[in-house]
Structure 1
Amino acid sequence: MKVKALFVYGTLLQHEEHHGAYMKDSRSLAKSAWISGRIYDTGQGYPACVLEEKSTVYGELYEVTASTLNKIDFLEEGYDKQVVDVMTDQGLVAAVTYTLPKQKASSLKEIESGCWKEYRLWQQKPASFYYFAYGSCMDDARFKLAEVDHYFKQIIGGGALNGFTTRFTLVRPDGSRADMVEDGGETEGVLYEVPFDAIRYLYKREGVYEGTYRPAFVDVKIGDQIYADCLTFLVLQKSDEIAPPGHYRSEIEKGADLYLSEAFRKKIRSHMDSLIKP
């Protein structure tokens, strides 16, 4: 049976409306994937993508069979089926996706973040959401300094994230900051349940509007329970790793010592020790 790669960005994403019915037999290739383009809200409960070089659409990459793709062809009737270059942390992959001609999107509302899940979170404004911290936000020191620590009192616990490894790819003059790279590894972090009002602080702290980190959604495991679509933040422009500064490392270690496994604490300390200092 012929197998192809498929890039999805809307209702076929994991946990979205059509994922279970259409994607259940497909294999995930990348949970963090993106293409050059823009997405728009059709007003019908799903987005549309237009290919364009200067903007980015975020989604997921799957290995699908020809049979699955035939079913999706009917779902995406009226869209153009195209092969595009999909970027992942492991390199470029050619994949099929479904797009609209630019003129057909002229009257639609653009989703400026390029991310359907993020757009829906802001639309729905839930009373609370899950936030997965893996860097300095595992510690509450800067929450207190910013007088927002009341947002972060509901700590679910230390959780594991499959498929990603904590790295230090955001380089600054005094050293690096943490990132997660999708390389098939496993990392740990602290899962919070926070009120929706906390999102403004998190976006500011993570430099979302300046293009430093971007919002992403991950499934976090604590014990036997999976917490789906937890908000986290990934570095946009990744550089070669260097060591983090002492104050930043201290925040990571304080949070890790409180909530994360001994094996992971040893691993992250060893990794930070191995990095070249700026």
Structure 2
Amino acid sequence: MTMKALFVYGTLLRHEEHHEAYMKESRLLAKSAWVNGKVYDTNHGYPACVPAETGTVYGELYEVTDDTLNKIDVLEGGYDKQEINVMTDQGQMTAVTYTVPKQKASTLKEIESGCWKAYKMWQQKPSSFYYFAYGSCMDDARFKLAEVDHHFKQIIGGGVLNGFTTRFTLVRPDGSRADMVEDGGETEGVLYKVPFDAIHYLYKREGVYEGTYRPAFVDVNIGDQIYEDCLTFLVLQKSEEIAPPAHYRSEIEKGADLYLSEVFRKKIRSHMDSLMKP
């Protein structure tokens, strides 16, 4: 049985409309994957990707069988199947994906975030959503300072995210800020249930429009329960890790001490101690 890598960015994503029927037997290679190009809303409930030198389309990378790919060929009738370079936190690889030529997308609305799930959230404006914080947002000090703490009162608890490790890859003059890197590890953070209005503050705080962090969606475990498609934010331009500044480290430790496991608290303190100061 031959296996191929497949990059998906729309209805084949985990928890999206066609994932269960077509992808449930396929092995996830990367939850955080991206390609060069632009993505558009077809107005039919699914997106279309146009390969391009500029722009980024975010999705997931899977290992699929020829049989699965043949079934997806039928689903994606009208799209072009092509090999494309896919980037992940572990490096670049070649995968198959489904695209349309530029002229076919000329009348369609571009999804500027490059992320179908984020676009859908902004379109649908759910009354509330889950937000997974793993850095300074585990503490409420800056929520209070910005007078938005009323949005973050409903704390579900400390949660576990599989496949990712907390790292400090966003370098600033005074030190680093937190990130999560998909390296097969495990990390912890605080899960909030927040009203939709909180998204405006979160996008601003995380510098989404300036290209600092990007929205991403992850499944978080708390006890025996899995919370699906929780919004979080990942660093776009990752640098070599350096130590965070004292004020930022303090916010992480305050939140961790309240909600996260003792094992993780020791691990994150030890990791921050090991990093070179700027």
Aligned partner of 1:198: which letter? A
Q: In structure 2, what is the Cα distance between the partners aligned to 1:72 and 1:81? A: 10
2:149 aligned residue = 149
2:56 aligned residue = 56
2:111 is equivalent to residue 100 of structure 1: no
2:16 aligned residue = 16
Q: In structure 1, what is the Cα distance between the partners aligned to 2:169 and 2:135? A: 12
Task: Note the C-alpha offset of 1:227.
Answer: 0.2
2:66 is equivalent to residue 66 of structure 1: yes
Q: In structure 1, what is the Cα distance between the partners aligned to 2:73 and 2:177? A: 42
Task: Note the C-alpha offset of 1:123.
Answer: 0.5
Q: In structure 2, what is the Cα distance between the partners aligned to 1:142 and 1:185? A: 29
Q: How does 1:186-205 map to 2 (within 5 A)?
A: 186-205=186-205
Q: How does 1:152-191 map to 2 (within 5 A)?
A: 152-191=152-191
Aligned partner of 2:268: which letter? I
2:229 aligned residue = 229
Identity of aligned residues (%): 85
Q: Which runs of 4+ in 1 moved over 4 A?
A: none
Classify the secondary structure of the residue corresponding to 2:167.
strand
Task: Note the C-alpha offset of 1:166.
Answer: 0.1
Task: Note the C-alpha offset of 1:25.
Answer: 0.7
Classify the secondary structure of the residue corresponding to 2:126.
coil
Task: Note the C-alpha offset of 1:136.
Answer: 0.1
Task: Note the C-alpha offset of 1:85.
Answer: 0.3
Q: In structure 2, what is the Cα distance between the partners aligned to 1:126 and 1:80? A: 33
2:264 aligned residue = 264
Offset from partner CA, 1:225-258 (integer Å, 9 cap, x none):
0000000000000000000000000000000000
Task: Note the C-alpha offset of 1:268.
Answer: 0.1
Task: Note the C-alpha offset of 1:28.
Answer: 0.1
Unaligned runs of 5+ in 1: none
Offset from partner CA, 1:90-135 (integer Å, 9 cap, x none):
0001000000011011011110100000000000100000000000
Q: In structure 2, what is the Cα distance between the partners aligned to 1:44 and 1:274? A: 50
Aligned residues: CA RMSD = 0.3
TM-score, structure 2 as length reference = 1.00
Aligned partner of 1:255: which letter? G
2:115 is equivalent to residue 118 of structure 1: no
1:77 aligned residue = 77
Aligned partner of 1:32: which letter? S
Classify the secondary structure of the residue corresponding to 2:147.
coil
2:210 aligned residue = 210
Q: In structure 1, what is the Cα distance between the partners aligned to 2:38 and 2:172? A: 30
